[in-house]
Structure 1
Amino acid sequence: MTDSIAPPKKPQIFPPLDREAELDRLAARMRAASGVGLQVLGLIGTQAENLIEMLPAQVRSGLERATAAALEQSFNAAAATRRGRIADAPDWLTRAIAIGTGAAGGFGGLPSALAELPVTTTIILRAIQTIADEHGMDPALPDVRAACLRVFAAAGPLDNDDGVDLSFLTMRLTVTGSAVHGLIAKVAPRLAVPLGQKLAAQAVPVIGAAAGAATNYVFTSYYQDVARVQFGLMRLGAQTGEDMDVLTADLRKRLT
């Protein structure tokens, strides 16, 4: 008995894009991504800048290290699910799974929220890889793997500054083989802040499970939207021959 081999995937053919209309569409999506975090802040009754101060000092001091560890685990785990031909999930299913893990993480307070961190990070990274594939890019290629991880360098759903800070879109990141440590070292400090906010929301007494579920929904939705902005710009750049710096500058004008 021989193993069955899946037929090669047919290349995706995309219609030509109207540059200005596509940039308008991506700007609208970026605005939507930046607005979803208000739900969580309303639920826990605090401001985004106060969330990390709610964490114990020991957790705050180890946030960047915990973030890097979560990214290390997620980077390979998410890719392995694609090699194992686990079907890509639609957005709603990915968010539903993330809601479940967030509720479980928040139910036990900070210890369970910390344990849940790499699981949710893997779910989100797998969703980002799916979106790259939707845009005709192979998540197995080093440059695309780097682009998937670069999405995590966005400011986060509880920060309302994304309309101006699009620097993550032009971060120069490359992956050569399995050497991802340098890449993660660049992304982890930026991701540590939103993940710290997520942990703090899940650790709120009494409503931890509800806050965990809501936070994971918001985070998953946010990074899916940001991924579609990034890979939309990359696809537009491939069609027009323009550099990401130029396209990002034009996108920023629409947001400011």
Structure 2
Amino acid sequence: MPKTQLPATIDVEAELEKIARRYKAAGGVGINVLNLIGGQAENLLDRLPASVRKQLEGATVRALDHAMSAAHKSRGHVPDQASWLNSAVSAAMGAVGGAGGLPTALAELPVTTTLLLRVIEGVAVEHGFDPELESVRFDCVQVFSAAGPLSDDDGSDLAFLTARIALSGKAVQTIIHKVAPRLAVVMGQKLAAQTVPILGAVAGAATNYAYTSYYQDMAHVHFGLRKLAIEVDVAPEELNKRLVVKMRALTVA
């Protein structure tokens, strides 16, 4: 009689260590972007006209609305791509957007947002989650609340991993409006980088590459934690607390 194979024991601490290290490494590329374009994150937004800054949040909401529909529909026509290819395509789009200054950068914003959301959905699938489920789409948008690679984040604020509101037919719209203000600042930094004189195309390619890499890593952090919570039957909130401890230990080290 064949022996029944028992499921492998999951080393929770080792898995949390991997997730913590991925989180810490995610924003590093942003520093290279800043060095490349010769700017500072805190003054990037000052490069945008006041009228654009004022309308940025509304534009971000519209971009996310468009992205949710377009990214999801594209799954039936275009398969998920390798991470390097996603970054390469995103960089090419950023170069085109930056080449024409602010007008083309604004036009490129919803396209890039769609690509980023599609990349996040792909990571969700990689971790075994079904993007047809509204709860998973909710999580995909929620990943955007991890700010961006140009933001000053010491890794201690991981609320985006466990924040929840009541899921309903309007849940995705609710999270879009909740995430939009923070994402507007992030996208504003990207737009401002793309308006750098002469270097617009280079800055556009570099920032898009950085953003794609960053959100790809954030998606792995988010869905990796979700998957671990299911596998070991531990509340995400509890794993989140333990992850914060790991993050702080890595910062001290």
Q: Quick check: TM above 0.5? A: yes
**Does the alignment pair 1:18 with 2:31?**
no
Deviations 1:182-229 (A, max 9, x none): 221111011111111000000111000000000000000000000000
Structure 1 residues without counterparts, runs of 5 or longer: 1-13
- Say yes or no: does 1:156 pair with 2:148: yes
- AA aligned opposite 1:33: A
- Please report how far the alpha carbon of residue 17 of structure 1 lies from its aligned counterpart in structure 2 after TM superposition: 2.9
Distance 2:121 2:30 in 1: 23
How far did 1:48 drift?
0.7
Aligned residue type for 1:211: A
Match of 1:219, as an amino acid?
A: Y
Indicate whether 1:245 and 2:245 are aligned.
no
Structure 2: which amino acid aligns with 1:231? F
The structural deviation recorded for 1:162 is 4.4
Alpha-carbon deviations, 1:149-198, whole Å to 9, x = none? 10001121011314111111122146544663222111101111111100
- Residues 216 and 251 of structure 1: is their aligned pair in 2 closer, same or farther, counting only changes over 3 Å? same
Deviation at 1:15, TM superposition (A): 5.9
Counterpart amino acid of residue 221 in structure 1: S
- Inter-partner Cα distance in structure 1 for 2:141 and 2:179: 8
After superposition, the Cα gap between the structure-2 partners of 1:76 and 1:178, relative to the gap in structure 1 and judged at 3 Å, is farther
1:52 aligns with 2:45: yes
Matched position secondary structure for 1:138: coil
Question: Which one-letter code corresponds to 2:32 in the other structure?
Answer: Q
Q: Does 1:72 align with 2:65?
A: yes
Counterpart mapping for 1:160-175 below 5 A? 160-173=152-165
Give 1:132's aligned residue: 124
Note the C-alpha offset of 1:44: 1.8
Query: Which residue type is aligned with residue 107 of structure 1?
Result: A
Does residue 61 of structure 2 align to residue 61 of structure 1? no
* 2:36 pairs with one of 40, 43, 51: 43
SS of 2:27 mapped into structure 1? helix
| Offset at residue 85 of structure 1 (A) | 4.0
Residues 95-106 of structure 1 mapped to structure 2, 5 A cutoff:
95-106=87-98
Contact preservation (8 Å) 2:165, 2:171? no
The equivalent of 2:83 in structure 1 is: 91
Q: d(CA) in 1 for partners of 2:66 and 2:183?
A: 15
* Alpha carbons 1:29, 1:229 under 8 Å: kept: yes
> Is the Cα contact below 8 Å between 2:138 and 2:171 reproduced in 1?
no
- CA gap of 1:192–1:16, structure 2 versus 1, over 3 A, is farther
- Identity, % of aligned pairs? 55
Which residue among 181, 193, 217 is the counterpart of 1:189? 181
- CA drift at 1:78: 0.3
RMSD (Å), alpha carbons: 1.5
